[in-house]
Structure formats: structure tokens, C-alpha cells
Amino acid sequence: MNRREAIKQMGLIAGGIMLSAMPVSLSSCSKMKKRIILYYTATGNSLYVARQLADDNTELLSIPQLIKENRYDIEADEIGLVYPVYGHMPPGLVWKYLEKSNLKAPYKFAVATYGNRKCNAVEILDDIARKNGKTFDYIATIVMVDNWLPNFDMNEQIKIDKRIPENLTRIKSELAEQMLWHEPVTEEERQIHNDFMQQSGRSAPFKQRSEEEFVIHDNCVKCGICTHVCPKGNYAFTSEGIKTHGDCDFCFACIQNCPQKAIGFSRITEVNPNARYRNEHISVMDIKRANDQSPLM
């Protein structure tokens, strides 16, 4: 073999090494992909889903904390949004974040958690996003325990098999492929939502006043949990005990996470006032970290 042939062969070998190394370097590149998941949660379902969709290189950011910190510019390779539907719509703070934020990513996805009836939640989110200059490449829903206390007994809800692991596995693999897809909506689902909006006389999103909706009973032990889990910071210690006051997302973090079941509705009759819910994988500390509106140190 002359010198020229030897150099050529070395080049081929080196090229071969590079080629065989390439899939490794490409796959390590894709592992390096930075995913940020924005979430909102009151009873932990959406935080649980967000955690399940996270890998080692994912950052989970709570929307109430981002709003508190005035952080509206988010940039990553992938940005996800996980939130609960309220009347098939996003909660007020999620809505606000969609209006004000600047989400920069080549791939954006959203997963809406719901309990019983999702209707056209996918289209509602898509519409809000588009009106605010955003597009989601993928939007899906996942059914979880329904934390809507007026209609559901939490003790019964937790017994229902909603095939959560199977649905999470499917969503995870669709996201791994960066699937471009919006879950389809039927005409009947659109109609049910329109009827709901008309009958409830609601203007989207849910906007209540916590002093009108909630009452604190005498069995309150002043543990202070409600002062930390409310994403609107509506609970405070006063000389007369715990009081609530302010614009409310109606998320139920306060009523569901009170360990004494000392918070009740003022004007809604509950199916079972003795049953409360928090996702079994999520602690009250997780909800506090997500929602606490105490002033920044």
C-alpha cells in the first residue's frame, strides 16, 4: 500500500469512527434538550402529571410563582404547560400568564387535566394562545380525580380507575416524538360548553371573591396551611383568627388542603363535606411551594 492509499484508508477509518460515533453524539444532544414545564395546581393532579412528563433535563416552574416573581420571558428547546380545566377553561392565573408571557421554544405542548367532562378544552386553550400570539404544537387532555367538590364525593372519586398510567405513557411517547397534534373535539362537546356558559351566566375565566364563597369554621386550629396554599394569597392571620378576602381563581387549594376540613362553602352544598382530596403523590409542602404568595425574602 503506497502512502496515498494509506492516508485514504486512514481517512475512511476516521470517517467510520465519526459515523459510528454520530448516533451517540446525536442522542446525547437530544438528551441535552432543555424542557421547561409550566404548571398550575390546587390539589396536585397537574403537578403530578408535570412531574411524570419531566426528564433529568426538565425544569418545572409554577405559574403562580412566576407571576409573583414577575417572570414572563421563558425560553427553552421545549416548553410545556400543564393545568386543570375549570368549566373546560384554564384557571384565571394560567389565562393571565398566557396573555402576558413570551414563550420561546421550537416545540410547545400543553396537557389539560380534568375529572369528568373536558368538552372543547383543547380548542379553548388553542384560541386563547393564538389570540396572544402563541401556538401549541401539541394539546392533549388527561382524566384524573375530579376535585369539583359540589358534585363529587372525593372518597368515591379516588376509587375510580381512570387509566392514568396508561394515558401518561401514551402522552410521554407522543411528546418524545414531538408529535404535532391537537386532540379532536366533537360538535357535541362544543355545544355542551356553550350551554354551560349560557346557563351559568359565566364570563370566562372563573372569577369569584373568596370572602363570599368560603367560611372558616370553629374547628380551625390556626395551622396556617391555607395562608400558604392559596395561589392568590387570600388567607391571613388576623386578631379574629384566620380570614379570607380577595379575588379568587376558585381552585379549591384552600378547602381541599385544610387538614381540619375547617373551610366550607358559604353558598354551595357539597356532596360530602367530610371528604377532601390531594393527589396521593403530592404533599401539602409541594402545594405550598407551588402557590405560596408570601412576600419574597
Ligand X SMILES: Cc1cc2nc3c(=O)[nH]c(=O)nc-3n(C[C@H](O)[C@H](O)[C@H](O)COP(=O)(O)O)c2cc1C
**Which residues contribute to the site for ligand SF4 (CB under 6 A)?**
210, 216, 220-226, 230-232, 234, 242, 244, 248-254, 258, 260, 262-263
* Partner in contact with 244, chosen from ligand SF4, ligand X, none, beta carbon below 5 to 8 Å by kind: ligand SF4
Compute the least distance from the CB of residue 58 to ligand X, in Å: 18
| Beta-strand pair 102-104/181-182 | unpaired
Compute the least distance from the CB of residue 118 to ligand X, in Å: 6
Provide the mask over 233-272, with x wherever binding to ligand X is found by CB under 6 A and - wherever it is not: -----------------xxx--------------------
CA dihedral 223, 225, 228, 230 (to 10 degrees): -130
Question: Which of 41, 62, 120, 257 is close enough to bind ligand X by CB under 6 A?
Answer: 41
Q: Is 87 in the site for ligand X (CB under 6 A)?
A: yes
Contact 228, 294 (CB under 8 A): yes
3-class SS at 30? helix
Q: Is 42 in the site for ligand X (CB under 6 A)?
A: yes
| 70 Cβ contact partners less than 8 Å away, ≥ 6 residues apart | none
Q: Is 95 in the site for ligand X (CB under 6 A)?
A: no
CA dihedral 100, 49, 161, 268 (to 10 degrees): -40
Closest to ligand SF4 by CB, 162 vs 245, is: 245
How many whole angstroms separate alpha carbon 183 and alpha carbon 185?
7
Provide the mask over 271-290, with x wherever binding to ligand X is found by CB under 6 A and - wherever it is not: --------x-----------
Closest to ligand X by CB, 134 vs 231, is: 231
Q: Is 141 in the site for ligand X (CB under 6 A)?
A: no
Question: Which of 64, 80, 90, 115 is close enough to bind ligand X by CB under 6 A?
Answer: 115
Judged on CB neighbours under 10 Å (0-12, 13-18, 19+), 149 is buried
| 108 Cβ contact partners less than 8 Å away, ≥ 6 residues apart | 78, 79, 80, 81, 134, 135, 136, 137, 138
Judged on CB neighbours under 10 Å (0-12, 13-18, 19+), 16 is exposed
Binding site residues, ligand X, CB under 6 A? 41-46, 84-88, 113-118, 144-148, 206, 250-252, 279
